Structure 1
Amino acid sequence: METTSKMPNNNHETPKNSQYSRSVEYNHEQNSIVIQEVIMPFNTEANIVIDEETESSNKSFHFSREFCVQFSISFTVNLLSFIYGTHIGWIGPTILKLSANNSAIPLTTSEISWLAAMLPLGGSLGPIIAAILVNTIGRKNVILLAAAPEIITWILIVCSINNYYLCIAQFIKGSIGGITVVVIPIYVGEISSPQFRGINGMIMSSMILAGIFFEIVLVPYVSLSANAWISSVVPLILLIASFWIPESPYYFLIKNQQENARKSLKVIRQNNYIDKQLEHLKRIVEEERKEVKNFTEIFRLKNNRAGGPRLHTKGPCDIGGFSEIFATIISSTTLIMNDIKK
């Protein structure tokens, strides 16, 4: 058996931006083994945008103009996360107040149960709405669409004369919360550079907790109407601030609006590599289009059908998880308020 070796000249070093590969093949006709070693260049085109972004951002990571702009945008849109937190924090102490003997809207045990159930029930509808609209009207417009009804829900609470008003308001609030948990991570992830994505992503959970704490502290010391007027200021601020928030460049590329995508990217990135970054995003969008061309592929493809049982059972489990969270908050708030009264 003969052994044939095809190797590069060992007297030369491996060029920069290249990789060394070795392959072994067996030739049945000649009864010999062929060993081939090749030096291949790296495809640096896909990495050039990341390298340039890293080089520009490493100069001043936390206080660069790019970081400040992206953090400000992320913080502003996460006012919707704060609003979602107020939904969770409002229900516990409010039910405790409405169940008192001197309540303006006295509620029975059954009415209290319905009021507590409206939030997770609406929350199961919100993600479906967001999934349909996020690529139809844009991420920014979905955020605004969620913020505007929030003011209406507080007006409903101010004008409420029975439990039906409160239940309608809570159902809408639940839908807004469901939209929030879908659109905010999408938008923040798309407008954030890779090196800032983790920091900007943490804002959402912090704002939700801040909203919960805000309502738990506020509700026991003010009337139902006063609390509603105070809380309605936050969505109003979000609507006003939305005039300077850019739309996601990904959405513009999905809609084949390259010039708008370039303008949005220029505001978000604040650097001199906009054209290269735009080409990089265009490749990503094209790859995503090739993955799933139609919603029916979820059911037509064999691997997706295998995950069907998990898809069908996940919804009720999520609703149950929401119910456990709200039940814990309501019971904990009741205990705290009883201790305060004592």
Structure 2
Amino acid sequence: MPSVNREDERVGQYSYTEVSTFQISEGNTRNMAPEPVKSGRIFLAAVAANLSAFVVGTTLGWTSPIGPKLKAEDTSDSPLSRPITSDEDAWISSLIAIGALVAPFAAGPLADRIGRKWVLLSSSLFFVLAFGLNMVASEVWILYLSRLVQGFGVGFVMTVQPMYVGEISTNNVRGATGSLMQLFIVAGILYVYAIGPYVSYQALQWCCIVVPVVFDVVFYTMPESPYYFAGKGRKTEALRALQFLRGQSADGVHDEMAEIQANVEEAMANKGTMMDLFKNAGNRRALFICAGLISFQQLSGINVVLFNSQSIFESANTGLDPAIATIIIGCVQVASSGLTPLVADRLGRKVMLLCSSSVMSIGLAALGWFFYKQLVHNDISSVVWMPVPALILYNIVYCTGFGPLPWAVLGEMFPANIKSSASSLVASICWTLGFLVTYFYPSLDALGSYYAFWLFGGCMIVAFFFVLFVVMETKGLSLQEIQDRLNGKRD
């Protein structure tokens, strides 16, 4: 029987051997009743990590209240000495996507080198710098630089946060914790929607810069992913992290720790590269599913809606204050996003994605019809009520389906040895399309807003059939069971 050193005594009754397994060193407790998992610990860590998503939301919603200030003829509440042009407005909206599509290729490898936790904490540096640049911006190019830097922070968060949350969660709550990202993003968007129209330009920057600081303070107290520690050979720290997350003793986490260790050892023995995403049939299928879901998420036109909500309502001219209408939309996003963690592990990812894509296409078709009546027939008397409920419907089903679930699926689809590479590639695909959609929207809008919204609606019809025939249900499956099914293995 191996001896127990002092460090092992502090963390429990198990002593790791040199072959990366652990054995019971003081009696056999395996026949005792299993200890219950304290899921509240998992949600505590997931919520702390998702404060970074709240920061992302502030950057995504920032242009909605700031755009009208920058475009106004009266520049008293603008850092610039002149109104921005439509082309400059397009660049300010879309440059965040350029930074976000580049950053994952640094964030993924860093997550494997220094840990998921420290990469998420470091993302705050980009956001603080960006909002600081906004405060001193006297030329448009400084705003361009700020949005690019914000994009780097967004790329770090969107790449690593799904990895962290997926790895700390148990099978039965992974859908719920994975869905929290969307809830916190839209909460961040609502934060700037509600504050932005009623405070000065400079005051909004201060309101935004405090959020990443709060995130760092809170998340610093949370544990690193046990998978990361195990992969680095830091087995005692992996056990401690898992005990904290499960609220159990070393006996209670014995089986899960053994499974994590086995998965990590297999991943280390078969260290993956970007090319392994394409060599293995299961990895190819996972990449096709995740890249497809993320692509349709962006082709739904969500960034156009988020970045231009206030301008869309001004163009609609429904008689409702655009700032109030935008806040209503933000509240709807938060309320509907709050439903997803409650039902994701009950209804399943596939059912929710099917409902989301079908209903979003209806909302986009209705919005396109409104602008068609306005621009072609110059008569909206019969449909003046339509934009607000259409956007409310669109946002409800987006926030319960295509908003959170592609990221939740990304966090559970890939084996540990290529997870960082896969996350980097999929996040870059997301933001490449995000840039293209956001940048070219003003050109489509110039032809007629209805063209853009009908195009987005058509994409969601295609998304429905993609989910129906291609996407695999992952509800209730362990990470290993997901890999088995992707590779054609059945129980």
Shift of residue 115, structure 1, vs aligned partner: 0.9
CA change 1:52–1:321 in 2 (3 A) is farther
CA contact (8 A) 1:92 1:333 kept: yes
The residue matched to 1:329 in structure 2 has which SS? helix
Structure 2, unaligned runs of 5 or more: 1-29, 324-491
Instruction: Spell out, residue by residue over 1:45-86, the C-alpha distance to the aligned partner (whole angstroms, 9 max, x if none).
Output: xxxxxx9999533xxxxxx7x222221111111011111111
CA contact (8 A) 1:123 1:176 kept: yes
Query: Is the counterpart of residue 100 in structure 1 residue 79 in structure 2?
Result: no
- 1:199 aligned to 169, 176, 180, which one? 176
Give the structure 1 partner of residue 40 of structure 2: 68
Give the structure 1 partner of residue 104 of structure 2: 127
Give the structure 2 partner of residue 161 of structure 1: 138
Shift of residue 194, structure 1, vs aligned partner: 2.1
Distance 2:208 2:56 in 1: 11
Give the structure 2 partner of residue 274 of structure 1: 253
Distance 2:125 2:94 in 1: 23
CA change 1:262–1:226 in 2 (3 A) is same
The amino acid across from 1:178 in the alignment is: G
Shift of residue 340, structure 1, vs aligned partner: 2.0
CA change 1:322–1:165 in 2 (3 A) is farther
The residue matched to 1:245 in structure 2 has which SS? coil
CA contact (8 A) 2:54 2:187 kept: yes
The amino acid across from 2:230 in the alignment is: L
Distance 2:257 2:297 in 1: 42
Give the structure 1 partner of residue 339 of structure 2: none
Give the structure 2 partner of residue 340 of structure 1: 321
Give the structure 1 partner of residue 89 of structure 2: 112
- 2:208 aligned to 231, 254, 261, which one? 231
The residue matched to 2:62 in structure 1 has which SS? helix
> Normalised by the size of structure 2, how large is the TM-score?
0.52
Aligned residue runs from structure 1 range 1-342, under 5 A:
55-57=34-36, 66-103=38-75, 104=78, 105=80, 106-272=83-249, 273-298=252-277, 301=279, 318=295, 321=298, 324-337=301-314, 339-340=320-321
Give the structure 1 partner of residue 364 of structure 2: none
Aligned residues: 280
Q: Which has the larger radius of gyration?
A: 1
Instruction: Spell out, residue by residue over 1:129-175, the C-alpha distance to the aligned partner (whole angstroms, 9 max, x if none).
Output: 22121101100011011122211111111111111121111111122
CA contact (8 A) 1:120 1:322 kept: no
CA contact (8 A) 1:248 1:261 kept: yes
CA contact (8 A) 1:121 1:319 kept: no
Instruction: Spell out, residue by residue over 1:90-125, the C-alpha distance to the aligned partner (whole angstroms, 9 max, x if none).
Output: 112211210001122231222212211211111211
The amino acid across from 1:278 in the alignment is: M
Distance 1:205 1:335 in 2: 22
Distance 1:319 1:217 in 2: 28
Distance 2:70 2:130 in 1: 18
Question: Which protein is richer in strand relative to its size?
Answer: 1
CA contact (8 A) 1:79 1:207 kept: yes
CA change 1:217–1:336 in 2 (3 A) is farther
CA change 1:297–1:201 in 2 (3 A) is closer
Percent of paired sites with the same residue: 27
Shift of residue 243, structure 1, vs aligned partner: 2.8
Instruction: Spell out, residue by residue over 1:162-197, the C-alpha distance to the aligned partner (whole angstroms, 9 max, x if none).
Output: 111211111111222222222111111111222232
CA change 1:291–1:341 in 2 (3 A) is closer
Distance 2:300 2:39 in 1: 37
Which range is displaced more, 185-194 or 133-142?
185-194
CA change 1:195–1:319 in 2 (3 A) is closer
Shift of residue 248, structure 1, vs aligned partner: 0.7
Distance 1:318 1:298 in 2: 18
Distance 1:247 1:233 in 2: 24
The residue matched to 1:101 in structure 2 has which SS? coil
> Normalised by the size of structure 1, how large is the TM-score?
0.73
Aligned CA RMSD, in angstroms, stands at: 3.1
The residue matched to 1:244 in structure 2 has which SS? coil
Distance 1:205 1:228 in 2: 23
CA change 1:151–1:52 in 2 (3 A) is farther
CA change 1:91–1:52 in 2 (3 A) is farther
Which range is displaced more, 211-220 or 323-332?
323-332
Distance 2:71 2:303 in 1: 17
CA contact (8 A) 1:85 1:211 kept: yes
CA change 1:114–1:53 in 2 (3 A) is farther
CA change 1:207–1:52 in 2 (3 A) is farther
